[in-house]
Amino acid sequence: MPSFNVSNLEMARAVIEAAELEDAPVMVQTDFINFDYGGMDELSALIRTLAQKVPVPVLMHQDQPGK
């Protein structure tokens, strides 16, 4: 399964839309620095909302947790 690190709405949308076009599952990652920037709840809700709109599996992953 391909995995892509995203840091904003546009990147997350592009990754998920590409997965839908390819009819393939995808892992969307972000790291703790990006969680600080956008807030963990906000970024995970954003990715979850985008993922619910497509028929392919989308897995969310927090890369390098540690703070």
Which pLDDT score, from 0 to 100, does residue 65 have? 60
Which pLDDT score, from 0 to 100, does residue 40 have? 76
- Residue 34 CA to residue 54 CA, distance in Å, equals 24
Query: Which residues of the chain carry a pLDDT beneath 50?
Result: none
What is the crossing angle of helices 40-52 and 9-22, to 10°? 30
Catalytic residue among 31, 36, 41, 63, which? Answer: 63
Tens of pLDDT, residues 8-17: 889 999 999 9
**Phi/psi zone of residue 39: left (φ > 0), alpha (ψ -120 to 50 degrees), beta?**
left
- Whether 23 sits among the annotated catalytic residues: the reply is no
